[in-house]
Structure 1
Amino acid sequence: MSRHERRAEQSGEGQQRPGAPALITGATSGLGRSLARALAARGWTVLVHGRDESRCAAVVEELRTAGGTASPYLADLSSLGEAAELGRRVAAEHSSLGLLVNNAGVGAGRDARRRAVSRDGYELRFAVNYLAPVVLTHALRTPLRAAGSAQVLNIGSIGQSPVDPDDVQFTRRYDGMEAYTRSKFALAAFTFTIAEEYACDGIRVNCVHPASYMDTTMVTEAGVRPWSSVEEGTKAVLHAIDEGVRGSSGQYYNASRRAKAHRLAYAAETQRRLTSLTDQLIAPTQDAGGTVW
């Protein structure tokens, strides 16, 4: 048993406060929408995040019609300011949060040579897939702590490439797939960086690769023939959530198996450098005095 799991056990394994909702980013299609249905069926109040008002409303209506409880939350996570505001709004409206699933993401894209940027001018995949989850997780730490036994689950990928600290914005020899795998490496490293500290608050933090090339818009837009289904990915995510309820923290799952992420994602020096770089990039969205991981 890891140190994370021992601390989680001591805090009261599986005792998530009834009524503490779950926030799922990117919940208007694909894996996020499927997970929203599954969690609502389990009795969770689901906070449905999306960037399109009508699609958000459609998912909320679908969940309510099926007997669930849901509310819409709009934000464009290509803006770190909007990611921070989403966190502040959720924290203001919900004193506790039982689960945060950082699912929203941008894939490799159809044209691997086309380097896109976020609204803040950062490389798009790094911004949406990594920086936005960092900002949102920071903003929601207080309501997660208040739940008593909450979880943060980062939707990662088996594809992981170390971030180049001298070219974080990937301005040289750009490749869309590598930009994607760099962002997922960073997300895994973030998971392991905060897991020990967040365990002190009774918050379990894990990362899961749900399935390879699911039948999602992200995959089809990249011109890839799907290898697996959203249903398979949903089962893997639910397994990771159940593992968190049982006390697992600081872990990486490949589908429904505990696995190992890229070896450098665990390295203290890698985590230190990435934390420092990240703090500089997200500083404009944070309160005075710097960030606290």
Structure 2
Amino acid sequence: MICPDQARAAHPARDIDIILPDASPPSAARMLADLFRTTNEILGAPVYRVSVHRLAAQPCADPRRWTRRTVILLGDIRTRWSVTDPLRPLLRVLLAQAPRRVLVGGAVFLLSDAGLARGCALAIHPNFRAAAAEEGLEALPDAPLSGVAGPVASAVSGFAAVPLMLDLIAEDHGQVTANALRAYLGLPAPEAQSRSRLSLGLLQRARGDRLIDRSLALMQEHIEEPLRIGDLARMLGVSTRKLQRQFLELTGEGPLSVYRALRIERARQLLEQTNLPLVEIIAATGFGTHSNLARWVRKEHGVSPHALRQRAMSGRAA
């Protein structure tokens, strides 16, 4: 266990506010609160200060209170969470000022109550999808159980929020601590995500930057039908300008050239390691035409796709 004095010095305490609907008992927050309290035990220091309360019991609307807090609005999967007019100013302040906001279950509707739903994509429970669509709430692509879009994290239920909490803990105290917590609580290890050598190298160059990590993952998920960079930025909850700037500053390349390089890498893998017809490889990598694929393969590797395959078959692949 880490020395408590060392842990305090290395990790100043962070405030975690778990806020419940009026009808929910305090016990509803026990599971998530225990994650942070157990982290304190593992690190041997009170690195998290956890409070559980209702919105009405926290009337402080001073923005300075919320600028360093993690706010978890813990709704359930049966009831839409709405607030009355007197509480909306406070809700807007904490949703606008808290650097980390997590919306769970029916709490996704609080974004529309606060007038902050525009541009936020959310993990929405099936019970709420129809109502959410009517209110203009945008669902994350492919309906995941949890996800992060810009400054807002969301989960369809309290159980689905656990991986988000572990990600926050990893962000604060490192993946080793998060893994130790996972093992201590008997939680299964996450499945390793399949990554290409190119994307791993770029992520290492970017020092594990979270936005770059999520961008590369989305690019790899959409190799066959490449996204426009504007659409990619929207899915990530950031502006196109910020996405381009982050890539240039951390990898030295723009997102468009990185995306193209990932597709060329996939094309090379398919050419060298499979017998797929060229027309299928063109479709699988989103290049559209033989001439387009050939142009980029030749630019990257100095030979045509056919020559690249022949070289691999003869045992002379680079």
Whichever structure has more helix as a proportion of its residues is 2
**TM band (smaller chain):** 0.3 to 0.5
- Structure scoring higher RCO (CA < 8 A, sep ≥ 6) equals 1
TM-score using structure 2 length: 0.33
